[in-house]
Amino acid sequence: MPDCLLALESSCDETAAAICTLQGELIASRIASQIEIHRQYGGVVPEVASRNHILHVRPLVQQVLADAGKSLSDMAAFAATSGPGLVSSLLIGTSMAKALSIAEDKPFLAVNHMEGHLLSPFMNGQGPVRPCIALIVSGGHTMLVHVLGVGRYSLLGRTRDDAAGEAFDKVAKMIGLPYPGGPEIDKLATRGDPTAFAFPRSFLDGRSLEFSFSGLKTAVLYELPRLDLKSEQTLADLSASVQAAIIEVLVEKLVLAARQSREKLVTVSGGVSCNRGLRTALTARCAKEGLQLLLARPDLCTDNAGMIAFAAAQRFSIGHTSPLEADVDPNLSLVT
């Protein structure tokens, strides 16, 4: 009796495959990272990304099946990220999942990448998915979502300009750190003084749940001519100060959203939620506020197929499947 589901993720520069049980327990997950390849260009090159997805996707499927000790006939369905992301990348994972669905005569599920991030804090036995305020902080998105149940989401606020991850990456690039900049700033910040530079915190008006990070980038740009970027300590102080400015806004807006909606559970996911300073600040602030905090496990924060498999399992368990004609959508929205 098929009791598992295989999912593929190829929305940007990571090719990933995972298998989870129909209850959402992750049993195998692998990522073929392209970070080293794109680092030489200072960012993701779509054409290069899709060519590498083609090279990696089939071996990854075989590897996760071997890791899980399963065969294709044990899969009850096949899933893939259908958006948002790079269209030429999304097509590789969805085409492969659809081909497996046709070959095995099993359903196909198109999964929204942001729903993968959104539900990831409920993995590893933290479920079931229940009402909460979710903060998603990734390279392309920063949003606050009121989760009422699987598929029942209402958008409370999003960024008006740069995403939090984008702010980390752009500042890192300006001070000569390699791509992706978030983890580099995270490392340097541990040795720096977060009060060394007073960078702006954009709260917009007091009750707004929207974000804006582009002013921070401009503030760093104005500071640059006065700095000695060869000094390790300057880089560390700048990193700690930039990180502190981003963290403060994220934490305060999450708490504000919880207060406004009277939810007691808050979740945080997406690549930026790996950030150690952010995790520490969230833990302290939520404890003070009497909020229960669920953070995605660090290896499930950045792009992976485990979260796509988990989201697909949640959807499949309430009877959702997608037609094979379902197209990829680079701008797919989480809320309609």
281 touches ligand KG4 by CB under 6 A? no
Contact residues for Zn ion, defined by CB under 5 A: 138, 303
User: In the numeric block, which tokens belong to residue 300?
Assistant: 């499930």
Q: Which two tokens stand for residue 194?
A: 């977060």
**Residue from 275, 286, 294, 306 that binds ligand KG4 (CB under 6 A)?**
275
Q: Which residues are within 8 A (CB) of 162 and not within 5 positions of it... i.e. 6 or more apart?
A: 170, 212, 213, 214, 217
**Which DSSP string corresponds to 169-181?**
HHHHHHTTPPSSH
Closest approach, Cβ 55 to Zn ion, in A, equals 21
Packing angle between helix 214-223 and helix 164-174, nearest 10 degrees?
A: 10
49 interacts with ligand KG4 by CB under 6 A: no
Task: Decide which of ligand KG4, Zn ion, none touches 180; Cβ closer than 5 to 8 Å per partner kind.
Answer: ligand KG4
- Here the tokens at position 12 are 């940007």
- Pick between residue 137 and residue 257 the one whose CB is nearest to ligand KG4: 137
For 67, the token pair is: 């890791």
Q: What is the DSSP letter of 326?
A: P
Distance in angstroms (rounded) separating the CA atoms of residues 260 and 269? 20
CB of residue 14 to Zn ion, shortest distance in Å = 9
- Residue 139 interacting with ligand KG4 (CB under 6 A): yes
CB of 296 to ligand KG4, least distance (A): 10
> Helices in 3-124 by DSSP H: which ranges?
35-39, 46-68, 87-104, 113-119
Closest Cα partner for 34 from 54, 48, 55, 14? 14
Q: Considering CB under 6 A, how many residues would be counted as binding ligand KG4?
A: 18
Binding-site string for ligand KG4 from residue 4 to residue 23, where x marks contact by CB under 6 A and - marks none: --------------------
Question: Least distance to ligand KG4 from the beta carbon of 131, Å?
Answer: 23
Q: Taking the complex as a whole, how short is the minimal distance between the CB of residue 71 and ligand KG4, in angstroms?
A: 30
Q: Which residue blocks in 175-320 are alpha helix, DSSP H?
A: 181-189, 214-223, 232-261, 276-289, 306-317
Please tell me whether residue 181 binds ligand KG4 under the rule CB under 6 A.
Answer: yes
Q: How far is the CB of 140 from ligand KG4 (least distance, A)?
A: 4
Write out the two tokens for 241.
């100060």
CB of 317 to ligand KG4, least distance (A): 25
Residue 192 binding partner per list ligand KG4, Zn ion, none, with a CB distance cut-off of 5 to 8 Å that depends on partner kind? none
The strand pairing partners of 109, in sequence order, are 79
By CB under 6 A, tell whether 295 contacts ligand KG4: no
Q: Is 267 in the site for ligand KG4 (CB under 6 A)?
A: no
Phi, psi of 68 (to 5 degrees): -85, -10
Q: Of 168, 197, 211, 310, which one interacts with ligand KG4 (CB under 6 A)?
A: 168
Site membership for ligand KG4, residue 271 (CB under 6 A): yes
**Residues near ligand KG4 (CB under 6 A):** 138-140, 165, 168-169, 180-183, 186, 270-272, 274-275, 302-303
